[in-house]
């Protein structure tokens, strides 16, 4: 058939339909067409290179394997040229309609059904090319096949209903696409705008991408190379480039998987947790790529919220290129990626904790708060995350931590629960009245210093079948306690009971139950939270937020120590000096509230103390 004169063709009905979808609804941002065309060009070169391994007799075999873009701001055109395998006349026609033949019906059907489960129907040269018509008045495709002696052609269309094909002479091997831009798309004829787009989406394309003769992509897609070939310096350089960071990464995980999904990932933990300084909440910043081409730089659901401190890239061949941010067409796939990566990262952290304990502990000191968030909120991974948590305890040195697993190995046979105490710091917990009963019984208590710990502990609830119990809670029973040796002058059980009853009457509404207790060793008294629904920490938080309920007067149960000199003195004063005894009772309650972090109104206390001092 002669092809010397232009020949006109109508688009098939399916192609018209597809074009309409691509132009009007598949992509939310017009700039995406640059990514799609560069991606096609890269694939075409890749295929050519592959083909060259077996085919020796190819057209223009000296051509540099490059992609060249040029803009013409006056003519309002953008030109992309590649040295790929090119297309013959038949292939131009065939490739244009490939999707229409191979499953476009199913594709269209899937889209019309909401497009939620779009499998990868679109092959390597998919609908991407059509995206040019989002911005083009006309598109000209010049192409010469790698097959020698095949003439070159130019394909021309305005995307409305028909196209023309004509033979041309001066086209080298590969494809050159010339886009004449619509009037409102002139920005894509400026070098600055195209540079920006290339740097965003095409920074890691395997072949040189030149814009106006200048090389754009200078960084390698490190995540696709083998670990053994990469130096620490290269990793750090990549981290800085990818995360726009100036620090050195604290930890890195480079891994690949083939099942259940094909994944290459390179993840970094930065040096510092910037949220800690009261800076804005971190945004997800592990970018999602498909074969080196950016899909989304801030994919919302690629990782769970608590991993928002991670930087880096995830690349999966299983992703269709045209997943764009607003049209995440394959939720299920992203969810699967999320599962695999999260599991893998948790495994990595547990290995770090085991093999590089010091580095892990430093990581934990900085980023532990995110693990706590995960332990409390990520139900699917809770059990594994809890193993990564670390706490100081009554048995660790100051600044040293223990895991819950280690705590459990130290538990005596009769201990059934894991105890913890909240407090602003180690000194405050150690000097408070709550710890002494546990210390006397050789029961280890975890120390929690952060406001979130309360929430974390109540969400985690148990570890290894053992309940996590607040050591200052009224329900804590230390039944098997060894009775402290009786001493001269200790209150009898009856005296203690009578004193407790008297205290209850004297203190009135300020206390719930008052009883003698074995929990105490040195302190005279201790307040245990009588409010099952609001811990002191919660109360403080609600007060800070001006929430209702925090204003109600504090009500606590009081436990007294019948062996304490102060209590013995009080028992004697009760009959000898009733007025003074009442003052002492009030003061003992206030002191115990201070230790519990529940003391709120010092005004009465000052007056009372002066009154007491008068009696000395």
86 vs 90: CA distance, rounded Å: 11
Point out which residues pair with 514 in neighbouring strands.
Answer: 558
Binding-site member from 40, 131, 285, 402 for ligand FE6 (CB under 6 A) = 40
Q: Which is nearer to ligand FE6, 98 or 285 (CB)?
A: 98
Under rule CB under 6 A, residue 85 binds ligand FE6: yes
Question: Which window, 36-44, 269-277, 327-335, 463-471, contacts ligand FE6 (CB under 6 A)?
Answer: 36-44
- What's the closest the beta carbon of residue 463 comes to ligand FE6, in angstroms? 56
What is the closest distance, in whole angstroms, from the C-beta atom of residue 78 to ligand FE6 in the complex?
14
| 82 is an interface residue for ligand FE6 by CB under 6 A | yes
- Nearest distance, CB of residue 198 and ligand FE6, angstroms: 16
CB 130 within 8 A of CB 22: yes
Question: How far apart are CB 37 and ligand FE6 at their closest, in Å?
Answer: 7
Which of 17, 39, 71, 175 is the binder for ligand FE6 (CB under 6 A)? 175
Which segments within 183-225 are labelled E, that is strand? 209-211, 214-215
- Closest CB to ligand FE6 among residues 96, 303: 96
**Could you tell me which stretch among 87-95, 179-187, 456-464, 530-538 binds ligand FE6 (CB under 6 A)?**
87-95
The DSSP output letter for 330 is: B
Q: Which is nearer to ligand FE6, 124 or 350 (CB)?
A: 124
- The C-alpha atoms of residue 336 and residue 358 are separated, in whole angstroms, by 33
499: contact with ligand FE6 by CB under 6 A: no
Q: Angle 515-521-524 (CA atoms, 0-180°, nearest 5)? A: 55
Q: How far is CA 437 from its chain centroid?
A: 41
Q: What 3-state DSSP class applies to 55? A: coil
Return the closest-CA partner of residue 261 out of 379, 344, 385, 348. Answer: 344
Least spacing, CB of residue 247 vs ligand FE6, in Å: 40
Q: Is 401 helix (H, G, I), strand (E, B) or coil?
A: coil
CB under 8 Å to 20, separation ≥6 — which residues? none
In Å, how far from its chain's centre is CA 112? 33
44 binds ligand FE6 (CB under 6 A): yes
d(CA 242, CA 5) in angstroms, rounded, equals 50
Q: Min. distance of Cβ 372 from ligand FE6 in angstroms?
A: 50
Q: Which stretch binds ligand FE6 (CB under 6 A): 80-88, 443-451, 560-568, 574-582?
A: 80-88
Q: Work out whether 146 is an interface residue with ligand FE6 (CB under 6 A).
A: no
Residues 6+ apart with CB under 8 A from 298: 283, 284, 285, 287, 325
3-state secondary structure of 142: strand
Tokens of 403: 């895991």
# residues contacting ligand FE6 (CB under 6 A): 16
H/E element holding 565?
Answer: helix 565-576
Supply φ then ψ for residue 322, to 5 degrees.
-85, 15
Shortest reach from residue 225's CB to ligand FE6, in Å: 26
Using the contact rule CB under 6 A, the part of the chain among 19-27, 89-97, 113-121, 454-462 near ligand FE6 is: 89-97
Q: Looking at 41, 59, 99, 516, which residue binds ligand FE6 (CB under 6 A)?
A: 41
Which position among 95, 138, 324, 415 is part of the footprint of ligand FE6 (CB under 6 A)? 95
Question: How near is the Cβ of 94 to ligand FE6 at its closest, in Å?
Answer: 8
96 near ligand FE6 (CB under 6 A): yes
3-state SS, residue 422? strand
- Output the CA angle 338-199-336, nearest 5 degrees: 10
Binder among 22, 23, 32, 87 for ligand FE6 (CB under 6 A): 87
The structure tokens 């019309």 sit at: 112
Q: Which is nearer to ligand FE6, 175 or 287 (CB)?
A: 175
Does residue 125 bind ligand FE6 (CB under 6 A)?
A: yes
Residue 39 beta carbon to ligand FE6: minimum distance, rounded to whole angstroms: 9
CB of 70 to ligand FE6, least distance (A): 15
Residue 452 CA from chain centroid, whole number? 18
DSSP readout, 65-107?
A: --EEEEEETTTTEEEEEE-S----HHHHHHHHHHHHHTTHHHH
Selected range binding ligand FE6 among 50-58, 90-98, 206-214, 563-571, rule: CB under 6 A? 90-98
Answer yes or no whether residue 205 interacts with ligand FE6 by CB under 6 A. Answer: no
- 87/286 with CB nearer ligand FE6: 87
With binding defined as CB under 6 A, does residue 115 bind ligand FE6?
A: no
Largest CA distance in the chain: 126
| Residue 306 to residue 385: CA distance in whole angstroms | 11
Task: Indicate whether 179 belongs to the interface with ligand FE6 (CB under 6 A).
Answer: no
Of 130 and 238, the one with the shorter C-beta distance to ligand FE6 is: 130
According to the binding rule CB under 6 A, does residue 84 interact with ligand FE6? yes
Contact (Cβ atoms closer than 8 angstroms) between residue 520 and residue 562: no
Q: Which residues, including other chains, have CB under 8 Å from residue 615's CB and lie 6 or more apart?
A: 577, 580
Nearer residue to ligand FE6 within complex by CB, 33 or 434:
33
Taking CB under 6 A as the criterion, the residue among 19, 26, 32, 92 binding ligand FE6 is 92
Token pair recorded at residue 482: 């060894």
Task: Please report whether residue 150 would count as binding ligand FE6 according to CB under 6 A.
Answer: no
Q: Under the criterion CB under 6 A, does residue 129 sit at the interface with ligand FE6?
A: yes
Residue 524 binds ligand FE6, judged by CB under 6 A: no
Nearest CB to ligand FE6, comparing residues 15 and 448: 15
345 is an interface residue for ligand FE6 by CB under 6 A: no
Q: Interface with ligand FE6 includes 249 (CB under 6 A)? A: no
Tokens of 106: 């199913």
Nearer to ligand FE6, 68 or 175 (CB): 175
Q: Is 141 in the site for ligand FE6 (CB under 6 A)?
A: yes
- Could you give the CA distance from residue 242 to residue 199 in angstroms, rounded to a whole number? 11
CA–CA separation, 406 vs 478, rounded Å?
Answer: 22
DSSP string of 437-485, one letter each residue: HHHHTT--EEEE-SHHHHHHHHHH-EETTEEEEETTBTT---TTPPPPP
Q: Give the residue carrying structure tokens 């100051």.
A: 398
Asked whether position 159 contacts ligand FE6 by CB under 6 A, the answer is: no
Please say which residue, 157 or 338, places its beta carbon nearer to ligand FE6. Answer: 157
Binding site for ligand FE6 (CB under 6 A): 40-41, 44, 82, 84-87, 92, 95-96, 125, 129, 141, 155, 175
């Amino acid at each position: 058939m002669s092809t010397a004169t232009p020949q006109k063709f109508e688009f098939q009905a399916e192609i018209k339909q597809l074009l309409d979808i691509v132009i009007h609804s598949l992509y939310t941002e017009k700039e995406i067409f640059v990514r799609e065309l560069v991606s096609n060009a890269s694939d075409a070169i890749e295929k050519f290179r592959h083909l060259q391994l077996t085919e020796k007799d190819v057209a223009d075999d000296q051509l540099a394997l490059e992609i060249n873009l040029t803009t013409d701001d006056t003519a309002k055109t953008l030109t992309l040229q590649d040295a790929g395998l090119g297309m013959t006349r038949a292939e131009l026609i065939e490739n244009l309609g490939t999707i229409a033949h191979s499953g476009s019906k199913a594709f269209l059907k899937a889209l019309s059904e909401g497009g939620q489960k779009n499998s990868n129907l679109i092959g390597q040269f998919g609908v991407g090319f059509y995206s040019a018509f989002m911005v083009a008045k006309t598109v000209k495709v010049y192409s010469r096949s790698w097959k020698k002696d095949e003439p070159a052609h130019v394909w021309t269309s305005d995307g409305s209903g028909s196209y023309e094909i004509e033979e041309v002479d001066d086209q080298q091997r590969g494809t050159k696409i010339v886009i004449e831009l619509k009037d409102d798309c002139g920005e894509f004829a400026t070098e600055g705008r195209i540079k920006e787009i290339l740097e965003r989406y095409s920074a890691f394309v395997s072949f040189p991408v030149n814009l106006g003769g200048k090389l754009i992509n200078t960084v390698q897609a490190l995540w696709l190379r083998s670990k053994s070939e990469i130096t620490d310096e290269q990793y750090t350089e990549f981290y800085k480039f990818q995360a726009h960071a100036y620090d050195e990464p604290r930890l890195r995980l480079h891994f690949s998987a083939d099942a259940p999904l094909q994944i290459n990932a390179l993840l970094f933990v930065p040096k510092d947790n910037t949220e800690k300084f009261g800076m804005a909440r971190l945004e997800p910043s592990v970018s999602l790529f498909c074969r080196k081409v950016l899909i989304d730089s801030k994919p919302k659901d690629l990782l769970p919220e608590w991993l928002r401190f991670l930087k880096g890239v995830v690349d999966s061949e299983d992703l269709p290129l045209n997943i764009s941010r607003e049209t995440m067409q394959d939720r299920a796939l992203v969810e699967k990626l999320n599962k695999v990566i999260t599991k893998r990262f948790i495994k990595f952290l547990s290995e770090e904790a085991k093999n590089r304990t010091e580095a892990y502990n430093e990581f934990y000191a900085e980023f532990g708060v995110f693990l706590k968030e995960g332990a409390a909120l990520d139900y699917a991974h809770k059990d594994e995350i809890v193993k990564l948590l670390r706490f100081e305890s009554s048995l660790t040195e100051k600044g040293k931590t223990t895991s819950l697993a280690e705590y459990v190995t130290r538990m005596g046979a009769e201990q059934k629960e894991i105890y913890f105490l909240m407090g602003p710091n180690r000194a405050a917990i150690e000097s408070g009245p709550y710890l002494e009963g546990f210390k006397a019984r050789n029961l280890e208590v975890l120390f929690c210093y952060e406001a979130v710990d309360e929430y974390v502990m109540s969400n985690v609830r148990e570890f290894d079948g053992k309940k996590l119990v607040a050591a200052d809670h009224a329900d804590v029973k230390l039944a098997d306690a060894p009775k402290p040796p009786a001493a001269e002058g200790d209150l009898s059980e009856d005296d203690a009971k009578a004193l407790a009853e008297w205290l209850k009457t004297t203190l009135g509404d300020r206390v719930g139950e008052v009883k003698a207790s074995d929990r105490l060793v040195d302190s005279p008294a201790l307040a245990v939270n009588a409010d099952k629904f609001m811990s002191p920490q919660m109360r403080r938080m609600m007060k800070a937020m001006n929430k209702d309920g925090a204003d109600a007067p504090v009500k606590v149960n009081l436990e007294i120590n019948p062996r304490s000199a102060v209590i013995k003195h009080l028992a004697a004063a009760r009959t000898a000096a009733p007025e003074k005894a009442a003052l002492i009772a009030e003061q003992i309650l206030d002191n115990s509230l201070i230790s519990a972090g529940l003391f709120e109104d010092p005004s009465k206390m000052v007056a009372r103390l002066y009154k007491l001092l008068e009696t000395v």
